[in-house]
Structure 1
């Protein structure tokens, strides 16, 4: 059953009760990585295997995201700073236990060249959800790293 979540602003990415952050280097320019994140949203399923469909909504101010297993997020974009940051809050979802959620993608130069990508999931939810996410952190990390490898391969083409 879909539920409306509490509306949060960009600062929630830094203050949420639970924050899971992951970092990976991508051998592509920040402008190119940003375009894949924020402009070519329908291609997300090609590189982020947990995602099955992404559709822009509201003339590009939001997204409808469908996940493997039947989950979904209706999102509002809260930051779109080319080559630097892309963040969105989840407004509605069928994920149990979530009260508020935001995902924040920060892009910085990588020491090896290319782009260092930091993905943060900021969540407020029930204690059971927090525990499940903490226990699932290794799997989420692996999914993120796999997505970044696939994105890098896609951007080389």
Structure 2
């Protein structure tokens, strides 16, 4: 049994159009993802500027999950760290957990180490280990070990 395929210029043009359209769409998606990450980073930095103690090693070193729940600073820090680690998780995933790519984008090593106590002693037991995918948990542990 023989098959015969007639490829016409119309077919070639259609296939070429599909390939180009798909490539452009993928490129635009990647650009939009990067723009979204940039905007999220800006938002986190604005919070840190408004409340500088959130990035102070003196303050972060005093973290304990058994903080006074009436202490606004520690409540804010708890939420800030959740926001920060969610962002770091998205960045790591975006860069397919390739440390050199992540490190060329943000100072992730410094951030993880600065907020080490929060990561290791979350408000709810196992919160950080259970809330993030295994790849990100290992990624963070790589900076803390």
| TM-score (ref. length: structure 2) | 0.25
Larger RCO (CA under 8 A, 6+ residues apart)? 1
More helix by share: 2
| TM-score (ref. length: structure 1) | 0.24
